């Protein structure tokens, strides 16, 4: 909306009142509430006719924008720290901020999340200190992790395994009678497009379905499993796989924080109210490398990355806030400043961490240890000692 537009004062500050069928958004079958140009769509219909909408206050819209910027900045800081040798590895979320913040903010306090290794944005939304994953990727034990404290399970690197853990957990929630009403508990399991080819994920679909588990399967389709593109995983849109297992599936624009929120909140509330599992395919793009060990220029072309840059989740939110006069330059500057301050602070705390002690990797494999592990530890210790005294 141009400045001085005579209709501006009388028009709703939000969006033009229109509903879009998912199939009409340009991308096939995509639920979208905010276009890449920052234009608001009042509501959007999913494949089963569900109407998705959000009703945020200006403060809440600004809050979502702040989340997006802060998680992108902390992610960039972590990547830089890895490059400087302070972390062993980092798995960047660059490009996936909206899918993570949208779904992360849609969780109610009592809901339980099972992440992969890339869900730093969800972690942030759960109120967890981002030093946790930085320690993990540095190889430093920060006293272990209690999944119940923030209702956030440990990061899981074994592809797809956490969907099984989430299914078992969700079945337990239902058996314990913890579902039902706004206070009922629901569970969300995160995984990637590549993970959908794993047996674990397909077995989870079967179990969650037949036991009507209160579980949302949240697949971030970022178009790649390391160097393998989506067409190596599937011949049908991933969300449609759900139909074969007997539960609903929906594809959402994963670069749209509003739609990601709306679709996830709806799926979680259905789950907590006895409607069983569902699959959300958040259609997005991994703008960076798979991890800091990867060089994506080896398997994808620059024009593809550029095309996705035009769909950037933060740029469209900023365009929307600006056009609707929900935020101005001073707000954007303040958010950038907050992001900078927080990342400097994070960096200081990482630098203050001890170096990792490799032998501690044997400590928490089993609660009570095992003779095999003791032997491995002894041999590893001997191996490490063989370097002592040698010139470095």
Ligand X SMILES: Cc1ncc(C[n+]2csc(CCOP(=O)(O)OP(=O)(O)O)c2C)c(N)n1
Shortest CB 355 distance to ligand X, Å: 25
Shortest CB 256 distance to ligand X, Å: 19
286 given a catalytic annotation: yes
The residues of the shown chain that bind Mg ion, judged by CB under 5 A, are 192-194, 222, 225
Confirm or reject binding of residue 222 to ligand X (CB under 6 A): yes
Distance, C-alpha 60 to centroid of its chain: 19
Shortest CB 233 distance to Mg ion, Å: 9
159 binds, among ligand X, Mg ion, none (CB under 5 to 8 A by kind): ligand X
Size of the site for ligand X (CB under 6 A): 14
- What residues pair up with 192 in beta bridges, in sequence order? 220
Residue nearest to Mg ion (CB): 192
Give residue 94's region: left, alpha or beta (phi > 0; psi -120 to 50): beta
* Phi, psi at 174, each rounded to 5°: -65, -45
Shortest CB 290 distance to ligand X, Å: 6
Q: Rank residues 109 and 293 by Cβ distance to ligand X and give the closer one.
A: 293
Closest by CA to 227, choosing from 309, 119, 300, is 300
Handedness of CA 199, 201, 206, 207 (dihedral sign): positive
65 given a catalytic annotation: no
Interface map 66-105 toward ligand X (x if CB under 6 A) = ----------------------------------------
Q: Rank residues 1 and 157 by Cβ distance to ligand X and give the closer one.
A: 157
Going by C-beta distance under 8 Å and a sequence separation of 6 or more, which residues neighbour residue 197?
225, 233, 234
Note whether 118 and 287 are within 8 A (CB).
no
- What residues pair up with 139 in beta bridges, in sequence order? none
* Phi, psi at 250, each rounded to 5°: -145, 145
Q: Rank residues 195 and 282 by Cβ distance to ligand X and give the closer one.
A: 195
Q: Rank residues 80 and 226 by Cβ distance to ligand X and give the closer one.
A: 226
Confirm or reject binding of residue 194 to ligand X (CB under 6 A): yes
Q: In whole angstroms, give the CA distance from residue 11 to residue 20.
A: 20
Interface map 147-166 toward ligand X (x if CB under 6 A) = ----------xxx-------
Residue linked to tokens 């206050």: 57
Residue nearest to ligand X (CB): 192
Going by C-beta distance under 8 Å and a sequence separation of 6 or more, which residues neighbour residue 387?
none
Active site residues: 286, 290, 299
Binding region for ligand X (CB under 6 A): 118, 157-159, 192-195, 222, 224-226, 286, 290
């Amino acid at each position: 909306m141009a400045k001085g537009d005579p209709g501006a004062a009388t028009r709703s500050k939000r969006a033009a009142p229109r509903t879009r069928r998912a199939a009409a958004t340009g991308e096939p079958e995509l639920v979208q509430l905010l276009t890449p140009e920052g234009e608001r769509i009042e509501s959007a219909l999913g494949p089963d006719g569900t109407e998705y909408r959000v009703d945020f206050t200006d403060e809440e819209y600004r809050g979502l924008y702040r989340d997006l910027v802060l998680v992108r900045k902390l992610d960039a800081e972590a990547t830089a720290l890895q490059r400087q040798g302070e972390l062993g590895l980092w798995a960047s979320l660059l490009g996936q901020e909206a899918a993570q913040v949208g779904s992360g903010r849609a969780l109610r306090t009592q809901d339980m999340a099972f992440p992969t290794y890339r869900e730093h944005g969800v972690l942030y939304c759960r109120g967890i200190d981002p030093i946790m994953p930085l320690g993990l990727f540095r190889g430093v034990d920060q006293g272990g992790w209690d999944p119940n404290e923030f209702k956030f399970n440990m990061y899981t690197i074994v592809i797809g395994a956490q969907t099984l853990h989430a299914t078992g957990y969700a079945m337990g929630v239902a058996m314990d009678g913890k579902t039902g009403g706004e206070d009922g508990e629901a569970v969300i399991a995160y995984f990637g497009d590549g993970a959908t080819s794993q047996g674990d994920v397909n077995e989870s679909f079967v179990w969650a379905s037949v036991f009507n588990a209160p579980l949302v399967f949240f697949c971030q389709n970022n178009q790649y499993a390391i160097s393998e593109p989506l067409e190596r995983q599937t011949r049908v849109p991933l969300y449609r796989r759900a139909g074969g297992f007997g539960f609903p599936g929906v594809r959402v624009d994963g670069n749209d924080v509003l739609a990601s929120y709306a679709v996830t909140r709806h799926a979680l509330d259905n789950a907590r109210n006895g409607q069983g599992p569902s699959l959300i395919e958040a259609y997005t793009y991994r703008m960076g490398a798979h991890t800091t060990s990867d060089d994506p220029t080896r398997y994808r072309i620059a024009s593809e990355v550029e095309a996705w840059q035009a769909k950037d989740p933060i740029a469209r939110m900023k365009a929307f806030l600006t056009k609707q006069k929900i935020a101005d330059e001073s707000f954007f500057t303040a958010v950038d400043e907050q992001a900078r301050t927080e990342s400097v602070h994070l960096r200081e705390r990482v630098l203050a961490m001890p170096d990792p002690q490799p032998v501690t990797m044997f400590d928490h494999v089993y609660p009570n240890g095992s003779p095999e592990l003791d032997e491995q530890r002894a041999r590893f210790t001997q191996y490490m000692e063989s370097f002592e005294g040698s010139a470095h």
